[in-house]
Structure 1
Amino acid sequence: MTGQIGGRLGAAQGTALLVGAVLGPGMLVLPHLAAAAAGPASVLAWAALLLLSVPVALTFAALGARYPDGGGVASFAALAFGRRASAVVGWWFYGVIPVGALAGALVGGEYVAAALGLDSRGGTWAVAAALLLVAFAANAAGLRTSGGLQLGMVLALVAVLAGAVLTAAPHAAAANFTPFAPYGLTGVVDAAGVLLFAFVGWEAASHLSAEFAGGRGLTRATVATLAVITVLYLGVALTTIGVLGRRAAESPVPLAALLEVGAGSAARPVVGGVAVLLTFGAINTYVAGASRLGAALARDGALPAWFARGGGPGRTPYRSLGLLAVATAATTALALVWTVDLDTLMRATSACLAAVTAAGVAAAVRVLPRGRLRVMAVVATVLALAALACCGPYLLVPAVLALVALVATRAAARRPVARVTIP
């Protein structure tokens, strides 16, 4: 989520903000999860998803340029497919926030536990619970990370990624890429399913569109962002395999392991601190945005109207925030009891966010004019659906949320309620 930005965005500022929308703390652990799924062939999944990102990113840039009010994917879905589709898309995002927030908190927890030498499971979950509590408390107090602080944390992540690649790359060995595909094509598809977590965020271009001086500025920022993440993602993927070899699939903190190879053991505490800042910033921001989305869903009949009350300019929607807090606590408790691991949580989150992306580019096929832009939207939709298929059984998560959204919308239609205005 991006806050208000004073003035008009140029290509450089816009690129920094878009990089921040796509990058996140998940990058601290995804190289490990992808390597565990596909071995060295995980680099193919990284490359395939980068190719997918090109038409998807440019399609969202085209949508943002033509609809600069930045209503988000739910608004595009409403424009193209109607109110019920908008409710479903909104629920995909709102409903998966408790799962995604827990996943992000566990990423930070793993790095802190590794840096402090804590018990891997107990220490990780203790740190994760603390991060969640602080993030929800900060939102309840009306404290959100500023745009400058968010940008600083993004730059910190870029620095960590680049530092890990540059310091460890000289230690890479070709032998670490053999056997290249120990799990075959199935492993590559499996890796793509979890890596989708690192490729959502392009829809943020539509939210930022009104801040750009013109459509060209948004397009230039999108192209520059594609270049930045291509270099970072491929650099991290290749270096992780080339340097760590089989350890890439075993170490839950791959970037800390890379920095330790290149810069020594003193790097671990530094990476742990960066992980905490990145994780807290991401959770805090997404909870703030989701709480307001929940109030908007209630306003539009996709949640009980009670959750829309109390919101307003400069005010915190406590009822929606409380619902998110309860859902996150329940998710955390169930994950502990059922011993749900980080890989499962990230795949469930990826499935929902990938569904949001697919809905956005599918809407573009309906609302963009005939010609080059519509052809690009069609290509983006086909590729997005192919990527969505990589989520496999985790597609059950967005399917259940879609059912909940439709039931809630139908119930609201049968019993009209007074609408509450939410900004």
Structure 2
Amino acid sequence: MCAGAVLGPGVLTLPSLAASAAGPASVLAWVVLLAMCVPVAAAFAALGARFPDGGGVATYVHRAMGPRAAAVVGWWFYGAVPIGVVSASWIGGKYVADAAGWGEAGATAVGGLVLAGALASNAVGLRMSGRVQLLLGGLLAAVLLCAVLAAAPHVTAAHFTPFMPGGWTSVGSAAAVLFFAFAGWEAASHLSGEFADPGRDLPRVTRYTLAVITVLYLGLAVATIGALGPAAADTDTPLTALLAQSVGVAARPVAAAAALFLTFGAVNSYLAGASRLGAALGRDGAAPRWLAKGGGPGEAPRRSLAVLGGTAVLLATAAGFGGADGAGLEPLMRATATCLAAVTLAGLAAALVLLPRRTPLWCGVLASSVLTAAVLAFSGWLLLIPTALALASFCFLTLRRFAGR
């Protein structure tokens, strides 16, 4: 489940977005982010072992910086989910439409059905079992591995030249969108309370997860550039293109089916977790109290879910969901990555306060904090999103305090 929290449907399209931003040099962005993952994952594992709790990053930030900072992190999570579920739904729609030849309108329809189905599922209180989620995570890992192996014989050195057509800044731009695929460690931190012995098991599971994503991500990065060449930047379905080099047209329905199941599972999980987060924020006074209704055990937090669903529909419309060239997907994924990078940076800041200082881990966390801040800087105007959410959180808490007087 920890591996599934890091792996997600974003990798079904991120290789092409990174290739579009930096060409062959996008491989460097993958390598840098993987290197950054080591101290990030180790820090969250250490914090989870010391403070096992389902609150994850918000718990660590609360301990290190107080309730106001923790509320901001909660708003960042809650605000990122509507953007992320629209992105994920759209990805699934693109793979199905590509297989069926339905075009962008078909991708819109399928993406809309995925989102509507996940909202309906959560509204009536249906939840996927841990075994089903595990199966979906395993399916994604298997699809990625098959795509890499299928493309390996077609990798050529010629596709890596010129290596850096856009200069060093293009690598930063690629890293900013790729953060979408590396931002699951804070989600995995919510599982820390589920371990019988977090101090023993969580670091071990973290090491295994790091090994899995390193193999899959590096293999995917090299295979996408090396096998597809310039065409890597021009496809919305890079995994289909990689598989097609070995199995031909049969790759389309296989990739489409996998993408559909994976995106529905991810969207369903995101909405389930975020709707309960919204209810918890309302319960704790960090958001309007009426959001708390339905947040108890066995209940469906429909008010929080309605906020998420309504926001997702508005975002999809504003982004041109299913537009003629599908150009709205990249900014959505970049916006999600920006919010999640902000959450990661807050968790790392908490680690710098809570973990023993001057140790190798603490120094690694400091270095990762600098790298995460640099990735955030490449988000440009999208930084306005976490800034606006933070201001909204502070304003709400301030008004609530004055109203309480």
TM-score bucket of the superposed structures, by smaller chain: over 0.9
* 8 A contact 2:6–2:181 mirrored in 1: yes
Distance 2:64 2:352 in 1: 9
Q: Which residue of 2 aligns with 1:353?
A: 340
Q: Report the Cα distance in structure 2 between the residues aligned to 1:205 and 1:240, rounded to whole angstroms.
A: 27
2 CA distance for matches of 1:327 and 1:204? 21
Q: Shift of residue 338 of structure 1? A: 11
**Does 2:204 match 1:198?**
no
Say whether the 8 Å CA contact 2:107–2:322 is kept in structure 1: no
Report the Cα distance in structure 1 between the residues aligned to 2:199 and 2:113, rounded to whole angstroms. Answer: 42
Aligned pair partner of 2:368 in 371, 380, 392: 380
Contact 1:61 1:205 in 2 (8 A): no
Instruction: Judge which range, 200-209 or 189-198, deviates more.
Output: 200-209
d(CA) in 2 for partners of 1:337, 1:246? 26
**Contact 1:165-1:239 at 8 Å conserved across structures:** yes
2:200 aligns with 216
Which residue of structure 2 lines up, in the alignment, with residue 398 of structure 1? Answer: 386
Q: What do the CA deviations read for 1:75-120 (whole angstroms, capped 9, x no partner)?
A: 211111111111110011101211111000011011001010111x
Residue in 1 aligned with 2:398?
410
1:361 to 1:171, Cα distance in 2 relative to 1, 3 A: same
Cα distance between partner residues in 1 of 2:35 and 2:328: 29
Give me the whole-angstrom Cα distance separating, in 1, the residues matched to 2:370 and 2:320. 37
User: Separation in 1 of the partners of 2:368 and 2:44?
Assistant: 10
Q: For 2:249, what is the secondary structure of its paired residue? A: coil
1:179 Cα offset (Å): 1.1
Deviation string for 1:54-73 (max 9, x for gaps)? 11010000000100123211
**Are the structure 2 counterparts of residues 312 and 337 from structure 1 closer, same or farther at C-alpha, using a change threshold of 3 Å?**
closer
Distance in 1 (CA, whole Å) between partners of 2:71 and 2:191 is 22
Matching residue of 1:257 = 241
Tell me which of 110, 118, 128 is aligned to 2:94: 110
TM-score normalised to structure 1 length: 0.92
Is 1:126 matched up with 2:105? no
Percent of counterpart pairs with the same letter? Answer: 56
Q: CA deviation at 1:47?
A: 0.4
Whole-Å Cα distance in 2 between the matches of residues 142 and 180 of structure 1? 50
In terms of mean alpha carbon deviation, does 61-70 or 41-50 score higher?
A: 61-70
CA distance, structure 2, for counterparts of residue 375 and residue 169 of structure 1 = 37
Aligned 1:82-101 pairs, distance under 5 A: 82-101=66-85
Contact 1:90-1:293 within 8 A present in 2 as well: yes
Give the conservation status (yes or no) of the 8 Å contact 2:56–2:186.
Answer: yes
Aligned Cα root-mean-square deviation (Å): 1.5
Once the 2 structures are TM-superposed, how far is the Cα of residue 396 of structure 1 from its aligned partner? 1.3
| Post-superposition offset of 1:223 | 1.1
Q: Hey, what does 1:239 align to over in structure 2?
A: 223
CA contact (8 A) 1:59 1:380 kept: no
Query: How big is the shift at 1:221?
Result: 1.0
1:149 equivalent in alignment to 2:132 = yes
Q: For 2:82 and 2:53, how far apart are their aligned partners in 1? A: 28
In structure 2, runs of 5+ residues without a counterpart are none
In the alignment, the residues of structure 2 paired with residue 239 and residue 232 of structure 1 have an alpha-carbon distance, to the nearest angstrom, of 10
Tell me the CA shift for residue 144 of structure 1.
1.5
Compute the displacement of 1:371 (Å). Answer: 4.2
Q: Deviations over 1:195-229 (max 9, x none)?
A: 00000011234322233324132111111111111
Alpha-carbon displacement from aligned partner over 1:252-302 (angstroms, at most 9, x marks no partner): 101100000022110110110110100000000010110011011112222
Offset of residue 250 of structure 1: 0.3
**What is the 5 A alignment of 1:247-326?**
247-326=231-310
| Residue 76, structure 1, aligned to residue 60, structure 2 | yes
Task: Give distance in 1, aligned partners of 2:49 and 2:358.
Answer: 16
Would the aligned equivalents of 1:304 and 1:412 in 2 still touch at CA under 8 Å? no
Flag structure 1 segments of 5+ consecutive residues without an equivalent.
Answer: 1-16, 418-423
Q: Which moved more, 1:272-281 or 1:300-309?
A: 300-309
- Please point out which of 191, 212, 215 is paired with 1:228: 212
| 8 Å CA contact retained: 1:64, 1:70 | no
1:43–1:103 CA distance, 2 compared to 1 (3 A) = same
Structure-2 separation of matches of 1:105 and 1:167: 26
Structure 1 pair 155–338 and aligned structure 2 pair: CA distance change class (3 A): closer
| 231-240 or 368-377, which deviates more | 368-377
Q: Distance in 1 between matches of 2:223 and 2:321?
A: 36
Moved more, 130-139 or 362-371: 362-371
Q: Distance in 2 between matches of 1:310 and 1:37?
A: 43
The number of equivalent residue pairs is: 400
